[in-house]
Amino acid sequence: MVGLVVVSHSPALAEAAVAFAMEMAQGGTRPRIATAAGVGDGVFGTDAAAIRVAIEEVDEGEGVVVLMDLGSAVLSSELALELIDPDLRDRVYLTSAPLVEGLVAAVVQASSGESPEEIIREAAAGLRAKQEHLGNDHTTGESAPPVAGHGETATFKVGNPHGIHARPAARLVAEAKRSPAQVSIRNKTVGSPFVPATSLSRVAALGALSGHEIEIVASGPGAADAITAITGLASRQFEDHVDDDRIEDMRRPADPSPPGGPLPASSGIAIGPKWTLSVVEPSIPDSDGEFDAAAERRLLDTAIASVRHDIAASRDRLIGRDDNENAAIFEAFLLLLDDEEVTADIDEAITSGRSAAVSWSSAMERVENDWARLADPYLKARAADVRAVRNQVLNLMLGTDAEIHSQRGILVAADLTPTVVARLDPDLVTGIVTAAGSPSSHMAILARSLGIPAVVCAGPSVLDVADGTQLIVDGSAGTILVDPPAARVLEYKSRAADLAVAAAEARGRAHEPALTKDGTHIEVAVNMGSAADVPAVLAGGADSVGLVRTEFLFLDRKVAPSIDEQESEYRKIADGVGNLPLTIRTLDVGGDKPLAYLQGSPEANPFLGVRGIRLSLSRLDVFRDQLIAIARVAADRELSVLFPMVTAVAEIRQATRILDEVLVDQGVEPDRVGVGMMVEVPAVALNTAAFAPYVDFFSIGTNDLTQYGLASERGNPSVAHLSDGLDPGVLRLIEGVVSGSGDARVAVCGEIASDLDAVPVLIGLGVDELSVIPRGVPAVKDEVRRWSATEAAALVDEVKSLASAAAVRAAVAARRKDR
């Protein structure tokens, strides 16, 4: 019997189509059917490898017929044919039949034992009955434009103050897509032609303003229901009830931070005008000559899938905060990425031999121009949203990043990547506010390292504040004041001046040892991101370099750095810090720091996947190159190597064995190089004694230990309030590391090491070293000096049995006040 394969961008669509078609085969022998749909993790797309597996699964020797939905499904299926055995390839047939009707016909014919040729003929004719009933020309497969009176019709008036812009358009399109009917709409007031109601780009370009009359025509099954659903949605203003009051709300002083935000991310007070990023447009190379269509389609699909994942994550974070209004903005972006009107233009251009970058850019520019020509200023502004999505996909395809131009004042953004923050000029950027984000995100870490006050998770309303509006940002309290009165400005300027005096006094003592009042020495080390941090390290007064993050060498590039390039950078750091003890951490990527050129199969949860030492041990070529570069530097000076994300004893044993081999090859005695491992996994914290014989020191990464221990992803603002390293459960994990460490030293290199509330708690737990950001060294040393080890131990006895991190902080504040 002939086998059938369904290729679709959507797993749900494929499964539903198969279930529906199989009902038609009742009473007979059912054919074997397999689906190849989506690209994993709920992401739309098609995968040639999955299609190949599906073909091989249903083949019984009599042939396989493949039905596809659209666009890349065809290209991926063609590529799959190149991946299978030639004998099987000769009996695989790709058909242009419509997916649903064609599949029903194919199942019926295959159940009757028909040949592949007969199955294809009947499947291709699957639309005939519908076309004849509707009076369409089925010889061309093109439907006549909808006209009033043909099918179900209705009209409604637009009640939304800003018309049918991105949010209401997205809801209208989503409703139309839910119906099996063919739905078209037009702006009757301006006399526009009908457009498909399933195309966001066409619906938004109708220029439907408040009061305009919109006509709907629906035909086919479910037409009446579609009309009822859409007109009902219109009567509710498409559930889009955003008005100007929320902007006025932002002009009032912020209330105490509710769960989820706003949240303090980087301490300090900033006062200045609000500004947003101006980004240089990606430069598209000339595209003379012809390009391989399949390769270009894969390039575009990969970029779109990545952008879709990022946008969906932003949408889901807002939904998690019950902010469905603004989540709809991101839903509109997702619909735009899958707009059939747009993808059809792109597919045609790629098939004709144009590059993916040019094809994508041209299609999106047409949509942008359509929206920019609209009369209403609010709708015209949505063209910028199209431009942003266009550029996001282009930058991924071209392997480029937009150039950052810092301005004086407070940067406000939806969210920021670490790359963007690293390129900011701290002399100009006095503060940062993000609508999303988390205090323990890498963006926040970089803001702290640059000394830029920051508040995150402030909500999307902050994006509506006009550029140039004066803001006050208190990065210690998580407070944002918009257009504050003069008295509040003076108050915060005075507080900022007091903070500056206290910081100056701490800097004056920074190079002195950090001794508790009863003489216990706590080493205060520094975390470094690159050689650019050397001046800050030397000025800060750190006792050592507790952690050099080597990711800076591997990010934002297409291939891994060479051994020579790595050696050069590590030497710059080693020479720059002079005689300070130095610890270099091996590559720590994966999770929220992926590298496209090192990733394997897609992971449903990359935070629990191949990251840190797991990735290094799976790519021994890259791992050995990094260790060789480190060993060359170790030949000239003492240093230590730190391995991240260790979970099993076998991992640390394998890593140290490879390190020893490399050191010997480079003429370095292994005993000269210290070996440490990060403690980020709760199971390791509870079993530290098993690892102690293989290391000289442990370094607790409290960022990951906290997110794993509390099951709260640190980049998700809806659970950001849970990700506090002072949670009593996390403190007990740290206590476990200390008690099981034996003769090995214990350091804390996560963000709570820089948290002044955490300093006495960590001292009381028996930690030997705090590794902090360069700017944090003076304040942390001063905090150590305010406590005795005995007082800190008593504090720990009190707080480790409390109910929450907030209770721990309150207890620390009370002890500090009583002393």
Residue 677 pLDDT > 90: yes
Residue 71, number of CB atoms within 10 A of its CB: 21
SS3 429: strand
How far apart are alpha carbons 337 and 364 in whole angstroms? 10
CA torsion, ordered 107, 137, 172, 176, to nearest 10 deg: -20
* Model pLDDT, residue 148: 40
SS3 8: strand
* Model pLDDT, residue 397: 84
Per-residue pLDDT band at 296 (split at 50, 70, 90): confident
DSSP state at residue 515? B
Cis amide linkage into residue 728, ω under 30° from 0: no
Q: Contact at 8 Å (CB) between 427 and 398?
A: no
Residue 753 pLDDT > 70: yes
* Model pLDDT, residue 379: 55
Six token digits for residue 207:
């220029």
* Model pLDDT, residue 253: 34
Spot the catalytic one: 162, 442, 457, 721.
442
The mean-pLDDT minimum among 33-37, 421-425, 662-666 falls in: 421-425
Q: How many CA atoms lie within 13 A of 643 on its CB side?
A: 30
Provide the CA 308 distance to its chain's centre, in angstroms. Answer: 10
The mean-pLDDT minimum among 588-597, 625-634, 663-672, 776-785 falls in: 588-597
Six token digits for residue 442:
């890498």
How far apart are alpha carbons 241 and 221 in whole angstroms? 32
144: exposed, middle or buried (C-beta count within 10 Å: 0-12, 13-18, 19+)? exposed
SS3 107: helix
Strand 454-456's sheet: what is its strand order?
263-266, 454-456, 429-434, 409-413, 269-275, 470-474, 479-482
- Minimal CA–CA distance to 571: which of 625, 531, 529, 525? 531
* Model pLDDT, residue 137: 44
Q: Contact at 8 Å (CB) between 316 and 346?
A: no
The mean-pLDDT minimum among 75-79, 271-275, 573-577 falls in: 75-79
Q: Is 749 a catalytic residue?
A: yes
Burial 190-223 (b: 16+ CB within 10 A, else e): eebebbbbbbbbbbbbbbbbeebebbbbbbbebb
pLDDT in tens, 55-69: 988 998 899 999 998
* Model pLDDT, residue 587: 93
Mean pLDDT of 545-555: 87
- Return the bridge partners of 273, or none: 470
Q: Contact at 8 Å (CB) between 216 and 172?
A: no
| Percent helix, percent strand, percent coil in the chain, to nearest 5 | 50, 15, 35
Which ranges of 69-127 does DSSP label H, i.e. alpha helix?
A: 72-83, 86-89, 99-111, 116-124
pLDDT in tens, 694-705: 999 999 999 899
Q: Contact at 8 Å (CB) between 660 and 634?
A: no
How far apart are alpha carbons 683 and 689 in whole angstroms? 12
Name residue 81's amino acid. L
* Model pLDDT, residue 591: 56
* Model pLDDT, residue 246: 33
- Minimal CA–CA distance to 752: which of 705, 702, 706? 702
Name residue 111's amino acid. S
Per-residue pLDDT band at 737 (split at 50, 70, 90): very high
Query: Which are the contacts of 352, defined by CB distance < 8 A and separation ≥ 6?
Result: none
* Model pLDDT, residue 48: 81
The mean-pLDDT minimum among 316-325, 516-525, 657-666, 762-771 falls in: 316-325
DSSP state at residue 64? E
Burial 692-715 (b: 16+ CB within 10 A, else e): bebbebbbbbbbbbbbbbbebbbb
Q: Contact at 8 Å (CB) between 71 and 345?
A: no
Name residue 5's amino acid. V
Q: Is 442 a catalytic residue?
A: yes
pLDDT in tens, 213-267: 999 999 888 899 999 999 988 988 887 654 333 323 333 333 333 345 688 888 8
* Model pLDDT, residue 258: 36
188: exposed, middle or buried (C-beta count within 10 Å: 0-12, 13-18, 19+)? middle
pLDDT in tens, 604-653: 677 788 889 999 999 999 999 999 999 999 999 999 999 999 999 999 99
- Is 121 or 245 the better-scoring residue by pLDDT? 121
Residue 80 pLDDT > 80: yes
SS3 772: strand
Q: Contact at 8 Å (CB) between 291 and 487?
A: no
Phi, psi of 523 (to 5 degrees): -75, 130
Name residue 42's amino acid. G
How far apart are alpha carbons 261 and 547 in whole angstroms? 30
- Is 566 or 49 the better-scoring residue by pLDDT? 566
250: exposed, middle or buried (C-beta count within 10 Å: 0-12, 13-18, 19+)? buried
Q: How many CA atoms lie within 13 A of 61 on its CB side?
A: 0
pLDDT in tens, 469-525: 999 999 888 899 999 999 999 999 998 898 888 888 888 888 999 999 999 999 999
How far apart are alpha carbons 633 and 626 in whole angstroms? 11
Angle between helices 728-740 and 702-709 (to 10 degrees): 120
Tell me how far CA of residue 581 lies from CA of 528, 530, 670, 777, in angstroms.
13, 16, 17, 16
Percent of the chain surpassing pLDDT 70: 83
How far apart are alpha carbons 443 and 663 in whole angstroms? 35
DSSP string, 274-342: EE---BPPPPPPP--S---HHHHHHHHHHHHHHHHHHHHHHHHHHHHTT-HHHHHHHHHHHHHHT-HHH
Q: How many residues does the chain have?
A: 819
How far apart are alpha carbons 299 and 465 in whole angstroms? 37
Per-residue pLDDT band at 286 (split at 50, 70, 90): low
Structural domains for the chain: 3-134 (3.40.50.510), 152-239 (3.30.1340.10), 245-279+403-497 (3.50.30.10), 293-398 (1.10.274.10), 512-818 (3.20.20.60)
The mean-pLDDT minimum among 91-100, 279-288, 578-587 falls in: 279-288
Most confident of 10-19, 146-155, 472-481, 693-702: 693-702
Residue 430 pLDDT > 60: yes
- Is 210 or 631 the better-scoring residue by pLDDT? 631
Q: Contact at 8 Å (CB) between 549 and 529?
A: yes
Residue-averaged pLDDT of the chain? 83
DSSP string, 524-549: EEEEESSGGGHHHHHHHT-SEEEEEE
Q: Contact at 8 Å (CB) between 501 and 779?
A: no
